[in-house]
C-alpha cells in the first residue's frame, strides 16, 4: 500500500483517485451491446452470454425444478444464517415506512402525499468470482416490503450454465418472481428494452463491475431508472491509537478481496498505527483464498497520515467513501461531521462485514464519490411519492386570483382562463 504523510490539499485529488476506467473507455462497448439487444432480443443476449461467460444456453430462465434442487444443496446452517439476515434487513426496512402526509395549505385547499411501489423492478446480482446472494436480501426484501409486483433477477451463469444454489435459494425465499441466467451488459440491456423472454422493468438495482455500472447509467437514456451508479467496492477507515491494528487490517482486506479494482484507504493521525496496520495487512493477506485478487486491490490502495482530525474529516468528505469505518477515540467528531459517505460503521466491534450481511442496513451503496449526491438503497428506493390535491369552491376563491395574476405574468393565458372560468361560475 502506498503511504502518504501530511499531503497538501493540492495533492488530495491525485491521492484519492479511483482505480477505474473512465466512462468513455467503456461506453463504446456498452452502446454496441445495447444496440444489438434492442434490435435482436434474446439472440443478442445469447451471443454475448457465450462471448463473455463462455456458455451457450437454450433457455435463460431458471426453472422451478432448478430452484427446488438448489434448496437441497444449501446447508441448514447457511439457510438459518440467511434467514437471520433477512429478518434484520426486513425489520430495518419496514421501520422506514411513512404514513400519508396531509395538510390544508389554505382554507379549502387540501394537499397530501402518498407513496406507491414501483411496479416492475430488475435486480442485478453479480455471480462471477463471488456469488453475492447477500445482495438479493438487500434488494428483494425491501422490494417486497414496498409492494413491487414484479421482481426480475438477472445473474451470470457459471461455465456449466448453472447459478449458485445460494443465489437461487435466497431469491426464492425473498419473493423474486423471475430469475434469468444472464449477466453483464447484456443483462442490463435486456431489462432496459425487454426481450422475448426477459421483461422490461422500470428501475434497475444492484452493483456490478465497471461495465455493468456504465450500462446502468446508459439505461437511464432509455426510460429506465437506476438505484445509483454502484461500481467497484471501496472502504475508508479512520483510526487512531485507540483502534486495533489487526481489526483495521481485516476490514481493509474484506473489501480488497471483492475485486482487483476495489480500493481501500486508511486515514490516521498515528504513524505507529499505520506501520502496524501495514504489517497486519501483509500477514493476513498471506492466508486469504482470494489473495491474488486482494493483492491487486491493495496495490492501488492508500495509507494516509494527517496531523489533525479536522484535516482527516475534510479529506474523507472529499473522497466520499462507499463504506466509512470510524475507529477513533473521538468518534462523535466524525459521526456528527461526516457529510459524504454511503454507510458508516462506528467502533472497534463494528466491521463492515456486518453491514454487508446481517446487521439490517443495506449494502447497496454509492461508490466512486457518488455518496456526495446519492443515498444507499433503502425502502424509498422502491417507491414513488405521489402528490394529490383537492380544492373546494372556497379554496379556488382563496387562491384563484393569485393563480390568474401569476399565469398572466408568464404569458400563459390558457392557464389563467382555467381559473377565471371557475371563478365566474362561483360569482
* Distance separating alpha carbons of residues 353 and 362, to the nearest angstrom: 12
Nearest CA-CA partner of 91 in 385, 412, 358, 313: 358
CB contact set of 268 (below 8 Å; sequence gap of 6+): 238, 239, 240, 274, 277, 303, 304, 305, 306, 312
Q: Is 363 a catalytic residue?
A: no
Q: Is 300 a catalytic residue?
A: no
Q: Which residues make beta-bridge pairs with 264?
A: 235
Specify the residue for cell string 459517505.
Answer: 341
Using the 8-state DSSP alphabet, how is residue 219 labeled? H
For residue 277, CA distances in Å to 18, 164, 303 come to 21, 35, 9
**Cell numbers at 201, concatenated:** 422493468
Catalytic-role residue among 172, 257, 322, 352: 322
Q: What three-state secondary structure class fits 333? A: helix
Count Cβ atoms below 10 Å from residue 119 Cβ, excluding itself.
13
Catalytic-role residue among 93, 258, 323, 363: 323
Beta strand 101-106 with 109-117 is: antiparallel
Range 3-18 burial, b when 16+ CB lie within 10 A, else e: ebeebeeeebeebbeb
Count Cβ atoms below 10 Å from residue 149 Cβ, excluding itself.
11
Q: Which residues make beta-bridge pairs with 121?
A: 151, 203
* Distance separating alpha carbons of residues 344 and 237, to the nearest angstrom: 10
Report the catalytic residues.
322-323
Amino acid at each position: 500500500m502506498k503511504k502518504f504523510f501530511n499531503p497538501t490539499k493540492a495533492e488530495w485529488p491525485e491521492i484519492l483517485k479511483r482505480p477505474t476506467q473512465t466512462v468513455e473507455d467503456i461506453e463504446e462497448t456498452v452502446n454496441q451491446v445495447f444496440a444489438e439487444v434492442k434490435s435482436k432480443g434474446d439472440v443478442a443476449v445469447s451471443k454475448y452470454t457465450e462471448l463473455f461467460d463462455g456458455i451457450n444456453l437454450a433457455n435463460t430462465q431458471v426453472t422451478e425444478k432448478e430452484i427446488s434442487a438448489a434448496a437441497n444443496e444449501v446447508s441448514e446452517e447457511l439457510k438459518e444464517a440467511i434467514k437471520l439476515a433477512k429478518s434484520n434487513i426486513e425489520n430495518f426496512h419496514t421501520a422506514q415506512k411513512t404514513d400519508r402526509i396531509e395538510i390544508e395549505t389554505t382554507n379549502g385547499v387540501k394537499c397530501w402525499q402518498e407513496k406507491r411501489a414501483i411496479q416492475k423492478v430488475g435486480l442485478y446480482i453479480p455471480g462471477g468470482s463471488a456469488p453475492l446472494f447477500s445482495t438479493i436480501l438487500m434488494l428483494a426484501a425491501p422490494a417486497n416490503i414496498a409492494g413491487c409486483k414484479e421482481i426480475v433477477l438477472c445473474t451470470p451463469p457459471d461455465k456449466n450454465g448453472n447459478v449458485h444454489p445460494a443465489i437461487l435459494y435466497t431469491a426464492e425465499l425473498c419473493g423474486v418472481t423471475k430469475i434469468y441466467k444472464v449477466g453483464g451488459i447484456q443483462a442490463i440491456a435486456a431489462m432496459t428494452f425487454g426481450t422475448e423472454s426477459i421483461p422490461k422493468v422500470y428501475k434497475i438495482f444492484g452493483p456490478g463491475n465497471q461495465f455493468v455500472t456504465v450500462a446502468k447509467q446508459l439505461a437511464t437514456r432509455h426510460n429506465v431508472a437506476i438505484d445509483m451508479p454502484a461500481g467497484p467496492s471501496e472502504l475508508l477507515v479512520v483510526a487512531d491509537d485507540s483502534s486495533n491494528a489487526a481489526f483495521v487490517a481485516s476490514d481493509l482486506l474484506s473489501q480488497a478481496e471483492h475485486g482487483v479494482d476495489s480500493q481501500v484507504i486508511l486515514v490516521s493521525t498515528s504513524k505507529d498505527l499505520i506501520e502496524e496496520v501495514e504489517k497486519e495487512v501483509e500477514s493476513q493477506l498471506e492466508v486469504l483464498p482470494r489473495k491474488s485478487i486482494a493483492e491487486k486491490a491493495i496495490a492501488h490502495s492508500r495509507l494516509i497520515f494527517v496531523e489533525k482530525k479536522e484535516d482527516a474529516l475534510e479529506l474523507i468528505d472529499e473522497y466520499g467513501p462507499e463504506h466509512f469505518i470510524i475507529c477513533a477515540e473521538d468518534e462523535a467528531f466524525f459521526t456528527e461531521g461526516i457529510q459524504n459517505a454511503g454507510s458508516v460503521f462506528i467502533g472497534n466491534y463494528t466491521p463492515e462485514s456486518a453491514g454487508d450481511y446481517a446487521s439490517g442496513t443495506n449494502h447497496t451503496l454509492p461508490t466512486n464519490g457518488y455518496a456526495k449526491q446519492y443515498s444507499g438503497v433503502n425502502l424509498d428506493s422502491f417507491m414513488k411519492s405521489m402528490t394529490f390535491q383537492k380544492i373546494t369552491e372556497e379554496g379556488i376563491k382563496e387562491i384563484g386570483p393569485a393563480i390568474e395574476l401569476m399565469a398572466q405574468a408568464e404569458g400563459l393565458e390558457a392557464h389563467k382562463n382555467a381559473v377565471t372560468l371557475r371563478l365566474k361560475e362561483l360569482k
